[in-house]
């Protein structure tokens, strides 16, 4: 089944996917508008501060003299790119560990799962806060993404491993072994296509997880505050006591768009998980009716 056919079925039979797709498109369009911003995201006091929403400034202006709408476009762009970077890197780690542990088994499985379980029980937030204080002078967007990806792969690696343990007992796997294919070729050519649907659905959940953690760290000031993200917008709003001084739009619009992001990606992930399950898919499409 082609990608377009899957997309058509999801849009036609799954309202959750349709709503999630619309919300995600709105968020992505908002982020894409950063390409046409008349202001640099690092410039301050380019407009009059603390102006309420108006035709000239739809989302108002901040106490730092920035147009809230345009700075939010950069914040959404960086936040989405951060979540995507963490998700892609962590998918690479989880695939490598899950494929190898599930197919090779034996001592390889025991060693990899011991490492995997260690990462599962590590308290991530305190570790990231400690990392910030140790690497404060070298903290960057990319470094934080790499560290979070290194800590966020373990749950999905175990899920991939369980599927691989099932796949290696299938008849087509035995046929591949008898035909002389190496273990690497079997994992990548024969098994990976069965694993990819799970990878895609868990990617959306991982994006949500990484964005939520980045926003939390940024609001507390534990990231590079020179890079505009939704979290750093809320940090500066809190530093300027925006809610107390009546500059409510500095809080409301970033919170609104990050909420739309969470809801949109969550609905897409739930819809894809349902589509992967043949029984749920047939029931949604009317195939399970008598």
Report the range of poorest mean pLDDT among 191-195, 197-201, 222-226, 229-233.
197-201
Give yes or no for residue 71 having a pLDDT over 90. yes
Residue-level pLDDT at 289: 43
| Residue 57 pLDDT exceeds 70 | yes
DSSP classification of residue 42? T
Q: What is the DSSP string of 182-204?
A: -HHHIIIIIIHHHHHHHHHHHHH
Please provide residue 252's backbone torsions phi and psi, each rounded to the nearest 5 degrees.
Answer: -65, -50
Please report the pLDDT score of residue 290 as a whole number.
37
CA angle (129 as vertex; 126, 134 as ends), nearest 5: 125
Instruction: Please give the pLDDT value at position 199.
Output: 86
Closest CA to 264 of 22, 83, 80: 22
Q: How far apart are CA 123 and CA 239, in angstroms?
A: 28
Task: Please provide the average confidence, as pLDDT, over all residues in the chain.
Answer: 88
Q: Which residue, 67, 70, 60, 63, is CA-closest to 242?
A: 63
| % of the chain surpassing 90 pLDDT | 51
- pLDDT digit string, tens, across residues 127-177: 888 888 888 878 788 888 899 998 888 989 999 999 899 888 888 888 988
Domains of the chain: 3-47+57-284 (1.10.3720)
Residue 285 predicted with pLDDT over 70:
no
What is the DSSP track for 63-132? TTS-BHHHHHHHHHHHHHHHHHHHHHHHHHHHHHHHHHHHHH-HHHHHHHHHHHHHHHHS-HHHHHHHHH
Question: Considering the entire predicted model, what is its pTM?
Answer: 0.87
- Provide the pLDDT confidence category of residue 113 given band limits of 50, 70 and 90: very high
Q: How far apart are CA 208 and CA 219, in angstroms?
A: 16
């Amino acid at each position: 089944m082609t990608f377009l056919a899957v997309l058509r079925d999801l849009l036609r039979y799954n309202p959750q996917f349709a709503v999630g797709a619309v919300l995600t498109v709105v968020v992505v369009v908002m982020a894409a508008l950063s390409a046409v911003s008349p202001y640099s995201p690092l410039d301050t006091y380019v407009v009059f501060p603390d102006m309420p929403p108006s035709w000239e400034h739809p989302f108002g202006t901040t106490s730092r003299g920035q147009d809230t709408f345009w700075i939010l476009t950069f914040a959404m762009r960086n936040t989405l790119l951060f979540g995507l970077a963490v998700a892609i890197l962590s998918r690479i780690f989880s695939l490598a560990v899950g494929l190898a542990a599930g197919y090779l088994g034996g001592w390889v499985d025991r060693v990899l799962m011991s490492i995997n379980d260690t990462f599962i029980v590590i308290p991530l937030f305190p570790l990231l806060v400690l990392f910030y204080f140790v690497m404060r002078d070298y903290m960057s967007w990319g470094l934080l993404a790499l560290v979070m990806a290194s800590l966020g792969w373990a749950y999905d690696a175990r899920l991939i491993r369980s599927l691989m343990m099932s796949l290696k007992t299938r008849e087509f796997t035995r046929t591949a072994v008898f035909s002389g294919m190496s273990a690497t070729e079997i994992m990548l050519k024969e098994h990976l296509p069965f694993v990819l649907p799970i990878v895609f659905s868990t990617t959306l959940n991982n994006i949500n997880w990484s964005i939520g953690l980045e926003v939390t760290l940024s609001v507390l000031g534990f990231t590079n505050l020179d890079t505009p993200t939704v979290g750093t917008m809320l940090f500066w709003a809190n530093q300027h006591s925006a809610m107390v001084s009546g500059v409510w739009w500095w809080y409301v619009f970033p919170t609104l768009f990050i909420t739309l992001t969470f809801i949109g990606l969550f609905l897409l992930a739930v819809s894809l998980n349902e589509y992967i399950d043949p029984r749920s898919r047939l029931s949604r499409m009317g195939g399970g009716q008598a």
